[in-house]
Amino acid sequence: MPDHDKPNWKSKKRSRKTFKTDRAQLVNGKLRLDKPHGAGAWYDIKLAEQPRWQGQLKQVCVVQDADGYYASFSIEVQASVEKRPVLTVTGVDANIGKFDYQTSTGYATQPTLPERLPPLYARIAHYQRQLARKRKVNPKHFNSAAYRTTRTKLKRQYQRVERIQTDLLQKFTTMLVTDYDLIGIEDLDNRHMRMNKRLAKNLHRSLFGKFKVIMQYKADWYGNTLVLADRFYPSTQRCSRCGYVKTADERITLSGNLKHRTGHDDYHCYQCGVKLRRDENAVENLVAYAKSKVTG
């Protein structure tokens, strides 16, 4: 194919190629991109799925990903959302491999590391090693056909991981905003990363970031009250019963507490003597924090 009719990518250097247009239209259920680029395969594109919203098409962003091209639509829709009265409350504590949250009857856990993921992580590591070797062996011309093939294979594994995680996150967050009116979460930073040495840190880091972003927009859509506990709120170190906050050598660390010889998964309050599971204590604290922000 001659290149002259194809759209100009925003940048050739970025691994994720995108271009945006505000002149695209939907014609007879097909996507028509703007004229100057419109020719051949770029004209009247069949859609895998029709847009779910009726409204004005503002912008279309086309992305080249591992296995093909994807178009995402920005559609302007009029919506009125009413703030829900606070009847049900939950708090969500994000950890490596799981989210802990409070239900009406107790505590529940949403795993974020399904069995399908570790083999994919292993493959990612494998292809990354292969690519690194290719760059080392042939530093000046490493962008060969073989290099690009391997890079595409790598991208496909990333894509699969991302799809599994996105699916999981979307279902989990929808459940939260449907079932609970007031939700307390942590304003996540990389604190969690400093606490763990497990595989695939970057993938998890992006998962935490996405969780917060999704919760923010879904709370707007569904009229929930979302309370972000700022990063200095000691949800792990605070006792949810008496409010005592552990400091200095009393703190719970990755290896528990050496001074008192308590474990990483337990919260033993040295003030009131209560013994709780660490995750459940954190969830309780987030619930209390969210409630305190609502009642003022």
Residues that bind Zn ion (CB under 5 A): 239, 241-242, 244, 269, 271-272
Q: For residue 163, is it left (φ>0), alpha (ψ between -120 and 50) or beta?
A: alpha
Helical H segments across the chain, by residue range: 117-137, 145-179, 191-194, 201-222, 278-295
- Yes or no: say if 60 and 73 are a contact pair by the CB < 8 Å rule: yes
- Across 99-127, b (16+ Cβ under 10 Å) vs e yields bbbbeeeebeebebbeeebeebbebbeeb
Tokens (6 digits) for 275: 């013994």
Which of 41, 272 has the CB closer to Zn ion?
272
**Kind of pairing, strands 225-229 and 182-186?**
parallel
Which of 113, 269 has the CB closer to Zn ion?
269
Residue 240 C-beta: closest distance to Zn ion, Å:
8
